[in-house]
């Protein structure tokens, strides 16, 4: 059994708190590691290393910083298979899905390589008599990220790549459920030429989170996880004067219009609803067919597709999805299926009895499909984070739109239709941050920003894209006049440029 470490000041550091948690292999249900849980003192050591290293890194010109990111990209490509194998072993997603996780992170690193352009300020020559005005973007200093288990490569890279490119030092607290890939990413960044101390990784639980939130040298913090914890992190971080962005839960709807291409729609729901065992914040968990005829046809097609889903170990290249991340996650999702039955929804496909031959101790759950789900059910209201799709029938387009708008979460949504007017109206009126038109998982490309609305997000700025540069820098504006031999005398009125 492997004992994992922290990564502080460019080297692996054994846990010193005496507290550990177990690391599991979801496909077999076996413990494979012990993960140290950092104390307040260990978090502080990471922050001090970051603080000491950051000024020299900030003074490194943006082009040279970009070259380190470019080398990091080469190393990510070199070790892609190794990273995907480790990610799949710890998380449970298939190798192919693990590679997608890594690739989505790589794309943000590629975006961050444009930092020489992205950090350019503005300049106005002659803004006033012999006066020039210009702005500078400067790094914040030491910043931190708290990232979830479901994307152990992608979301850390979404956080630390733009932050480091801007000249900050970064302290990462990954999920204690699958921390090996974040530790490997830190090693690769060091190999790429990143100075020791610029990227530190501390494993931990609430004690480590609170230490980061309360540390006076942490200038900004980003979080991705459940809404309850997002609210907590946002409130506590803001209370200590930090810049904070937090992304929480989701309940993503896919509206099926009567004119939708039903083959395309069913394919989209199967992939977006059950891929990665539903453990995605952008997973489609609610299908909203408009009209009874549309709903009946959708169910007729969905049932055999869900029944034929292939669940397998992460190493099975033909599997549609693998196990859930932990035994606790499996029991939680099963509990929601039990609850849905009690609430009166129709369980059209029941995956609770699924057992993987040869992997009976693994954390597997077959695909579950509910029909006749209503908005008053907890099954509909709450994020399940598992391979469970709920069908909520809407009488009209306006009813479907209201369902999306009235839900407390506003992360992602999609509409499937051939009608351009309907799609355009939906995109304009739906109260959700990311919208797909005939696209089931509308995760924006790296040079746009990712973020939800309502209780899916807390803070003013989103992840990656231009918002990430704004989040990890502050603007300094300089008004300059050089002596010209003209004596204006003292002025007691507010300056103007007229």
Helix axes 95-112, 154-165, angle to 10 degrees: 10
Q: Is 113 in the active site? A: no
Bridge partners of residue 286, in order along the sequence:
253, 390
Pairwise CA distance, residues 108 & 119, whole Å: 16
Which pairs from 446-454 meet CB under 8 Å and 24+ separation?
A: 446/107, 446/108, 446/110, 446/111, 447/111, 450/158, 451/247, 452/247, 452/248, 452/250, 452/409, 452/410, 452/411, 452/412, 453/410, 453/411, 454/407, 454/408, 454/409, 454/410
Contact status, residue 465 vs residue 450, Cβ threshold 8 Å: yes
**Torsion of Cα atoms, 351 then 353 then 356 then 358, to 10°:** 180
Pairwise CA distance, residues 204 & 335, whole Å: 27
Catalytic pick from 113, 166, 246, 281? 281
Exposed (0-12), middle (13-18) or buried (19+): which is 271, by Cβ within 10 Å? middle
Pairwise CA distance, residues 39 & 84, whole Å: 30
Contact status, residue 386 vs residue 324, Cβ threshold 8 Å: yes
Bridge partners of residue 132, in order along the sequence:
480
CA 481, distance to chain mean position in Å, is 45
Contact status, residue 433 vs residue 413, Cβ threshold 8 Å: no
Q: Which helix (H) or strand (E) holds 417?
A: none
Pairwise CA distance, residues 142 & 58, whole Å: 11
Ramachandran category for residue 459: left, alpha or beta (phi over 0 → left; psi -120 to 50 → alpha): left
The catalytic residue positions are 281
């Amino acid at each position: 059994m492997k004992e994992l470490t922290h990564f502080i000041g460019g080297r692996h550091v054994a846990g010193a708190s005496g507290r550990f948690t177990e690391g599991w292999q979801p496909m077999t249900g076996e413990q494979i590691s012990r993960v140290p849980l950092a104390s307040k003192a260990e978090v502080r050591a990471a922050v001090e290393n970051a603080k000491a290293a950051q000024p020299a890194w900030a003074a490194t010109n943006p082009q040279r910083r970009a070259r380190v990111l470019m080398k990091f990209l080469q190393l990510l490509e070199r070790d892609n298979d190794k990273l995907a194998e480790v990610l799949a072993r710890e998380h449970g997603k298939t190798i192919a899905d693990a590679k997608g996780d890594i690739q989505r992170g790589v794309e943000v690193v590629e975006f961050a390589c444009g930092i020489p352009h992205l950090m350019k300020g503005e300049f106005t020559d002659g803004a006033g008599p012999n006066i020039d005005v210009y702005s500078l973007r400067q790094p914040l200093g030491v910043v931190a990220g708290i990232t979830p288990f479901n994307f152990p490569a992608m979301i850390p890279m979404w956080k630390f790549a733009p932050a480091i490119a801007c000249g900050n030092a970064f302290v990462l607290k990954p999920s204690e459920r699958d921390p090996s890939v974040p530790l490997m990413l830190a090693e690769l960044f060091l190999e790429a030429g990143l100075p020791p101390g610029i990227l530190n990784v501390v494993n931990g639980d609430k004690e480590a989170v609170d230490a980061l939130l309360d540390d006076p040298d942490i200038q900004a913090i980003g979080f991705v996880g459940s809404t309850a914890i997002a609210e907590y992190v946002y409130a506590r971080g803001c209370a200590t004067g930090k810049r904070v962005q937090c992304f929480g839960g989701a309940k993503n709807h896919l509206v099926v219009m009567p004119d939708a291409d039903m083959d395309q729609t069913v394919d989209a729901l199967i992939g977006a609803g059950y891929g990665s065992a539903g453990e995605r914040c952008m997973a489609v968990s609610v299908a909203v067919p408009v009209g009874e005829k549309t709903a009946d046809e959708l169910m007729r097609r969905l049932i055999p597709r869900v029944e034929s889903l292939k669940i397998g170990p992460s190493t099975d290249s033909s599997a549609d999805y693998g196990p859930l991340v932990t035994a606790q996650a499996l029991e939680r999702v099963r509990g929601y299926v039990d609850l849905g039955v009690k609430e009166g929804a129709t369980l059209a496909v029941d995956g609770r009895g699924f057992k993987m031959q040869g992997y009976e101790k693994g954390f597997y759950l077959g695909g579950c499909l509910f029909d006749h789900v209503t908005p008053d059910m907890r099954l509909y209201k709450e994020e399940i984070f598992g391979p469970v799709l709920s069908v909520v029938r809407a009488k009209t387009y306006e009813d479907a739109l209201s369902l999306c708008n009235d839900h407390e979460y506003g992360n992602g949504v999609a509409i499937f239709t051939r009608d351009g007017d309907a799609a355009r109206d939906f995109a304009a009126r739906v109260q959700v941050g990311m919208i797909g038109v005939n696209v089931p998982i509308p995760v924006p490309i790296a040079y746009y920003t990712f973020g939800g609305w309502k209780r899916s997000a807390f803070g003013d700025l989103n992840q990656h894209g231009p918002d990430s540069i704004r989040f990890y820098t502050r603007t300094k504006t300089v008004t300059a006049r050089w002596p010209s031999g003209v004596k204006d005398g003292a002025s007691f009125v507010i300056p103007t440029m007229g």
